[in-house]
């Protein structure tokens, strides 16, 4: 099994944390998605990370599809349930994860579009400001939910998808926009992200 990854992508990190919590600890194969690495080109038509190449050569792409594959192939109770185990819990976890994913998408979109628009900064355009609003509102909504998200660990002590995505968002925002005055103070979200660093899945996958 080979995980084509980079060291910054929040999507890669969602997949890596989920894989480690499900007992798959493989050293990622670091590639630069922007230089058309042939391994990534052949495995993924979109040339994006993460891409997980299984032992039979099948390539899994899209972070949430990798999580779906993990849930199906390593189900509870032997493995932690990442999206919850009963319908109401699943609904709550997915709803909260969606808030974080919307903000992650806005965040990555801003970073990627800067590559296109430089030296004119995308951030101050109408679409850029809309993406910023998504990041701010997403973080503020998660700040209100952070304590509850922190309580909803699975029976193995593993974080569920909502906590994984909220933590990945928080750390990515600090990594990319830590010096920006518009980044909202989110002390509860910060506490959640820092508390989860006791998990090797979280501490060993910090962006750099």
Stretch that binds ligand GSH, among 46-54, 128-136, 172-180, 181-189 (CB under 6 A): 46-54
Looking at the Cβ atoms of 122 and 143, the one nearer to ligand GSH is 122
State the nearest-atom distance from the C-beta of 78 to ligand GSH, in Å.
26
User: CA of 191: how far to CAs of 82, 147, 167, 180, 187, in Å?
Assistant: 20, 9, 10, 20, 6
Nearest to ligand GSH of 33, 128 (CB atom):
33
159 part of the interface to ligand GSH, by CB under 6 A: no
Site for ligand GSH in 9-38 (CB under 6 A): 9, 11, 33
**Site stretch for ligand GSH (CB under 6 A), options 18-26, 48-56, 121-129, 174-182:** 48-56
Report if residue 50 touches ligand GSH, rule: CB under 6 A: yes
137 touches ligand GSH (CB under 6 A):
no
**Residue recorded with tokens 């032992």:** 55
118-140 burial, b at 16+ Cβ within 10 Å, e below that, comes to eeeebbeeeebeebbebbbebbe
Which is nearest to 133 in space by CA: 110, 115, 161? 110
Contact indicator for 8, 208 with CB cutoff of 8 Å: yes
62 interacts with ligand GSH by CB under 6 A:
yes
Q: Which stretch binds ligand GSH (CB under 6 A): 18-26, 41-49, 82-90, 168-176?
A: 41-49
Whole-angstrom Cα Rg for the chain = 17
Among 63, 110, 134, 167, binds ligand GSH (CB under 6 A): 63
Distances 142 to 24, 77, 134, 163 between C-alpha atoms, Å = 28, 28, 12, 10
Give yes or no for a contact between 17 and 5, defined as CB atoms under 8 angstroms apart. Answer: no
Q: Which residues bind ligand GSH (CB under 6 A)?
A: 9, 11, 33, 47-50, 62-64, 108
């Amino acid at each position: 099994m080979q995980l084509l990854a980079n060291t910054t992508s929040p999507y890669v990190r969602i997949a890596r944390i989920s894989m480690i919590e499900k007992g798959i600890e493989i050293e990622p194969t670091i590639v630069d998605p922007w230089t058309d690495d042939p391994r990534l080109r052949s495995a993924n038509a979109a040339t994006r990370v993460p891409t997980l190449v299984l032992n039979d050569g099948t390539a899994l792409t899209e972070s949430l599809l990798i999580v779906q594959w993990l849930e199906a192939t390593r189900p509870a109770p032997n493995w932690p349930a990442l999206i919850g185990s009963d319908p109401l819990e699943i609904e709550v976890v997915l709803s909260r994860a969606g808030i974080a994913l919307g903000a992650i998408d806005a965040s990555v979109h801003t970073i990627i579009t800067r590559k296109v628009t430089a030296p004119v900064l995308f951030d101050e355009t109408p679409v850029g400001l809309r993406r910023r609003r998504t990041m701010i509102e997403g973080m503020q909504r998660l700040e209100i939910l952070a304590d509850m998200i922190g309580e909803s660990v699975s029976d193995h002590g593993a974080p569920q998808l909502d906590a994984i995505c909220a933590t990945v968002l928080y750390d990515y925002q600090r990594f990319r926009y830590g010096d920006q005055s518009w980044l909202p103070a989110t002390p509860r979200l910060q506490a959640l992200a820092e508390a989860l660093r006791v998990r090797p899945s979280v501490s060993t996958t910090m962006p750099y």
